[in-house]
Chains A and B, each alone.
Chain A
Amino acid sequence: MTSLILRTTTRFMFPVLLLFSLFLLFRGHNEPGGGFAGGLVAASAFALYALAFGVDSTREALGVDSRSLIGSGLLTAAVPAWFALLRGQPLLTHQGVWLYFAVPGLGDIHVGTPLVFDVGVYLVVVGVTLTIVLSLAEE
């Protein structure tokens, strides 16, 4: 596909979509969004990129092998699971591991192990979708 319009639009849309996916990921705990939705948006961004510029350039843009994203995502999601075990709590107990701090200009931030878990979900979703999309597109 060599549509100039698609390519130009994609150049603008791609970073915006990726930013939006991160936005969804980080706000997910309080507003609509989350790792799953965020991951899907990011995957769509790359899928769009693949449609516009081809698979090889997409792999280059991605920088890492999409398959390793799956593994690292699963590992990341497992961290809070084990963290709870080490504290003597049942698997995946998030309670009591929250940090609160104020960042000038951003307001109060609170971060907990659910975010780590959600990042894992995000990575897995991106990895899975792109592994399938890119493999299919290469056929």
Chain B
Amino acid sequence: MIAAAVLSGFVLAGAAPSLSRALRGYAGWCLAALPLLLCVYFGVWFAAVIQGGGTSIAYPWMPTLGLHFSFRLDGLSLLFGLLIAGMGALVLVYAGGYLAGHPLLGRLYAFLLLFMGSMLGVVLADNVLTLFIFWELTSISSYLLIGFDHERPAARAAALQALLVTGGGGLALMAGLLLLGHVGGTYELSELFARGDQVREHALYLPIMVLVLAGAFTKSAQFPFHFWLPRAMEAPTPVSAYLHSATMVKAGVYLIARLTPILGGTEWWTAVVSSAGAVTMLVGALLAAPQTDLKRILAYTTVSALGLLTLSIGVGTGPALLAAILFLVAHALYKGALFLVAGAIDHETGTRDVTRLGGLARAMPITAAAAFVAALAMAGLPPLFGFIAKETFYTALLETPAALLGTACGVAASMLFVALALVVGVRPFFGTKVETPKHPHEAPPSLWLGPILLGTLGLVFGLAPTLVEAPLSAAVAAILQREPAPLHLALWHGWNTALYLSIATVAGGLVLFWLRGSIRAGAERLTPLGGLGPAGGYELGLRGLNALAAAQTHLLQSGYLRYYLMIVLATVIGLTGYALWRRPLDLQPPVWTDGAFYDAGLVVIIIVAALASVRSQPRLAAIATLGVVGYSVALFFVIMGAPDLAMTQFLVETLTVILFVLVFYHLPSLPDQSQRTARVRDALLAAGAGLTMAVLVLITTQMKLFPNISDYHGEHSVTKAHGRNVVNVILVDYRGLDTLGEITVLGVAAAGVYALLKLRPSKTRDKPAPAAPEEASP
């Protein structure tokens, strides 16, 4: 059932495009039924978990590798599950209104559902490898969603950047998780929880921590990987609200929280995670301050909020984890609402520039109300849930060893939150009306339903926090893998330090809001420094990579067969020669023992023909003499009693000659004699290749590593494989997979030759001849 809950998103994603066509305007509402159902399902399980229940399920996938398709429900995973499914329902409805009539709306639904399924897989997985697979799927669906408007270069670049940053982190994460499984002896989280000490005391603990955190930090846009998130705002607004604010970017936070019982608690962990979080929190808020684009402001404050979450989890004390969970919920509610509001404003007015918005409350009263409530929550004002979250956060910070520094960072970021909440959620709706590109009307219900619901929830949870005490306590308990502790949330805590800090925060925030004009002007002067940041490093790295690819392509892909051959031969000689030089073998010179006179004759023929092929002037003569070499080798096979090999060699030789004739028939006669240097080079290369092959043949004949393999094949080919021809039995049975691979390669080679010959833009006659792939015989 859990597996079905995870996979249902993928199934519905497949059907979404056709459903979207069939249901037209109602598709979003109908598709939202699935996440709603999932919400109910998770809600029922949550009730059971609070009672001390919980469930897990495992299907063996690749048991020999420790890979199980296993899922587990506890407080933390269910909280995330509810967030993902709940936001998913709202976003599907919203997308239907936001992109109404868009020709690719069905595709957007499909990607959103694909993402939802992947994200549910991440938070519900018990096996870390399963978790990783879903983790990567979220990166991929994020790529598809950011690049949804794929005809705009900016959207494509942003999608690629997000994929490269999170994908690179994903690689590190995979290495970290593999090491973790290796050290812990299992890939199941539920079993690893009990082996935390074993992991923390292991010599590989630090590498594991660094790799896992690299994955989590890139995904959750922690400094210095934060730059991809604001650019991801190229995605349609519902996508930004869903992936890049409420859910996907919190996957990293989830992972850090999830692994806290296994990796957490050490000095390194606390220092790295909390300082990364603190820096991100400050940097995000500071970068958000001068922005004027609604979505970019929200994106940078999301970066800041993710830093706050990371900081809280890094601190790791009970109150700090509680603060993280509270803020997680509060942030999802208000930031989701604000993003959806920003989309509605954009949809109705045609602009997202805050300096060009004002007085919209009259035209869009419902949206304005939702935005106002969400902005109050973001500012952390009572009676909203955001206030409780912020108070808890302050209380937790005051208890840390570095209380002064931590609290100062927290207060500074919160002040900027207050100012930015006013900029985003209040300023556009009040004041004098400003002319906008489109004449604003109230948004359709699908666009205001989400913000209103989210805002109301933030208000209800703030007024009656007892409603959420039990689930949130269960989530905190799940992070620590302990029994839930009783929890009492209230708006009023009495006159304490946290409250004084809150008052100071609001006051400071108002001042910052007042100064917003000069902040923007000041930041303008700093823009030239923007290229020095991590984003500039990314650009530089990407350009370097492209330049490297271009350079090596230019170097290796000349388009001339002779150069390809040269590179292949030189590589073989070089690598084999190096290996032989590193491990010199005791080779006996070959001794002519029982050779008959015709053996000697064949050798002479081969040598003479080889020399003749080099000397011969017309190409056809060279081919004919090469054919002589080939046939003579085949004769050797006959003499040595390998009829299969001989027959194949004869046939391949014949066809090769035919092919060469066909190709060379069209080529002009040999150009001017090649230069002396080129000839010397070719001669050296040819001699080297011949020598290497000769040495290799000597080695293979003199070394008997596995003397029984041919006997084994001979003995069993009739009894087990029903065939007396051992060669063929090897080809089709013992090593059937090799043959399957080889014929596939043959097919690909034929496609390549065909493409080269038939699909080139202009038919010129001096193209290099394609290689004859027959020589790759099994």
Residues of A within 8 A of B (CB): 24, 28-37, 40-41, 43-44, 47, 51, 67, 70-71, 73-74, 77-78, 80-81, 91-92, 94-95, 98, 110, 112, 114, 117-118, 120-121, 124-125, 127-129, 131-133, 135-137, 139
B575 at interface, CB cutoff 8 A? no
> Measured between C-beta atoms, what is the minimum distance from A55 to chain B in Å?
10
- Docked CA distance A35–B658 (Å): 21
Residue of A at shortest CB range from B772? A132
- Docked CA distance A41–B654 (Å): 10
B749 at interface, CB cutoff 8 A? yes
Known interface pairs A35-B732, A118-B732; A132-B644 also in contact (CB < 8 Å): no
18 A-B pairs with CB atoms under 8 Å apart are A28-B725, A31-B724, A33-B647, A36-B648, A40-B648, A40-B652, A41-B651, A43-B655, A44-B651, A73-B743, A94-B732, A94-B733, A117-B740, A121-B743, A125-B743, A128-B746, A135-B757, A139-B757
Say yes or no: A129 contacts B728, CB within 8 Å.
no
> Measured between C-beta atoms, what is the minimum distance from B749 to chain A in Å?
7
Known interface pairs A114-B723, A121-B732; A128-B757 also in contact (CB < 8 Å): no
> Measured between C-beta atoms, what is the minimum distance from B62 to chain A in Å?
13
Residue of B at shortest CB range from A73? B743
Say yes or no: B722 contacts A47, CB within 8 Å.
no
Say yes or no: B740 contacts A78, CB within 8 Å.
yes
Residue of B at shortest CB range from A80? B736
Say yes or no: A32 contacts B758, CB within 8 Å.
no
Say yes or no: A34 contacts B732, CB within 8 Å.
yes
Say yes or no: A127 contacts B725, CB within 8 Å.
no
Say yes or no: A124 contacts B743, CB within 8 Å.
yes
Q: Which of B722, B723, B727, B773 contacts A128 (CB 8 A)?
A: B773
- Docked CA distance A28–B452 (Å): 75
What residues of A have a CB within 8 angstroms of the CB of B770 in the complex?
A: 132
- Docked CA distance A106–B233 (Å): 74
Say yes or no: B659 contacts A32, CB within 8 Å.
no
B578 at interface, CB cutoff 8 A? no
Say yes or no: A70 contacts B725, CB within 8 Å.
no
B168 at interface, CB cutoff 8 A? no
B739 at interface, CB cutoff 8 A? yes
Say yes or no: A94 contacts B736, CB within 8 Å.
yes
B729 at interface, CB cutoff 8 A? yes
Q: Is the interface of A mostly helix, strand, loop or mixed?
A: helix
What residues of B have a CB within 8 angstroms of the CB of A129 in the complex?
A: 655, 774
10 closest A-B pairs by CB: A40-B651, A29-B723, A92-B736, A128-B750, A32-B643, A136-B662, A30-B724, A34-B728, A124-B743, A114-B732
Say yes or no: A139 contacts B666, CB within 8 Å.
yes
- Name 5 extra pairs, CB < 8 A, besides A32-B647, A94-B721, A136-B662: A36-B778, A43-B655, A114-B723, A129-B655, A139-B666
Known interface pairs A47-B658, A132-B753, A139-B757; A127-B644 also in contact (CB < 8 Å): no
Say yes or no: B743 contacts A74, CB within 8 Å.
yes
Q: Which of A33, A95, A124 contacts B644 (CB 8 A)?
A: A33
Say yes or no: A70 contacts B658, CB within 8 Å.
no
The tally of residues in B whose CB lies under 8 Å from a CB in A reads: 46
> Measured between C-beta atoms, what is the minimum distance from B86 to chain A in Å?
41
B720 at interface, CB cutoff 8 A? yes
Say yes or no: B733 contacts A114, CB within 8 Å.
yes
> Measured between C-beta atoms, what is the minimum distance from B754 to chain A in Å?
6
Residue of B at shortest CB range from A21? B651
Say yes or no: A121 contacts B739, CB within 8 Å.
yes
Q: Which of A77, A121, A133, A135 contacts B658 (CB 8 A)?
A: A133
Known interface pairs A70-B747, A92-B736; A31-B753 also in contact (CB < 8 Å): no
Residues of B within 8 A of A (CB): 643-644, 647-648, 651-652, 654-655, 658-659, 662-663, 666, 720-725, 727-729, 731-733, 736-737, 739-740, 743-744, 746-747, 749-751, 753-754, 757-758, 770, 772-774, 777-778
What residues of B have a CB within 8 angstroms of the CB of A127 in the complex?
A: 747, 750
What residues of B have a CB within 8 angstroms of the CB of A91 in the complex?
A: 737
Say yes or no: B736 contacts A117, CB within 8 Å.
yes
- Docked CA distance A44–B653 (Å): 11
- Docked CA distance A84–B663 (Å): 42
- Docked CA distance A7–B650 (Å): 23
Known interface pairs A70-B747, A77-B743, A124-B746; A36-B777 also in contact (CB < 8 Å): yes
- Docked CA distance A34–B659 (Å): 23
Known interface pairs A135-B757, A135-B758; A34-B658 also in contact (CB < 8 Å): no
Q: Which of B659, B720, B728, B743 contacts A28 (CB 8 A)?
A: B728
Say yes or no: A47 contacts B655, CB within 8 Å.
yes
- Docked CA distance A128–B743 (Å): 9
What residues of A have a CB within 8 angstroms of the CB of B723 in the complex?
A: 29-30, 114
What residues of A have a CB within 8 angstroms of the CB of B744 in the complex?
A: 74
Residue of B at shortest CB range from A116? B732
- Docked CA distance A135–B729 (Å): 33
Say yes or no: B655 contacts A40, CB within 8 Å.
yes
What residues of A have a CB within 8 angstroms of the CB of B659 in the complex?
A: 132-133, 136
What residues of A have a CB within 8 angstroms of the CB of B647 in the complex?
A: 24, 32-33, 37
Residue of A at shortest CB range from B660? A136
- Docked CA distance A70–B654 (Å): 21
> Measured between C-beta atoms, what is the minimum distance from A21 to chain B in Å?
10
What residues of A have a CB within 8 angstroms of the CB of B727 in the complex?
A: 32, 34
Known interface pairs A28-B728, A129-B774; A44-B746 also in contact (CB < 8 Å): no
Residue of B at shortest CB range from A135? B757
What residues of A have a CB within 8 angstroms of the CB of B643 in the complex?
A: 32
Say yes or no: B750 contacts A132, CB within 8 Å.
yes
Known interface pairs A37-B648, A40-B652, A136-B663; A29-B722 also in contact (CB < 8 Å): yes
- Docked CA distance A71–B654 (Å): 25
Say yes or no: B757 contacts A74, CB within 8 Å.
no
What residues of A have a CB within 8 angstroms of the CB of B644 in the complex?
A: 32-34, 37
> Measured between C-beta atoms, what is the minimum distance from A93 to chain B in Å?
9
> Measured between C-beta atoms, what is the minimum distance from B181 to chain A in Å?
25
What residues of B have a CB within 8 angstroms of the CB of A95 in the complex?
A: 720-721
> Measured between C-beta atoms, what is the minimum distance from B567 to chain A in Å?
23
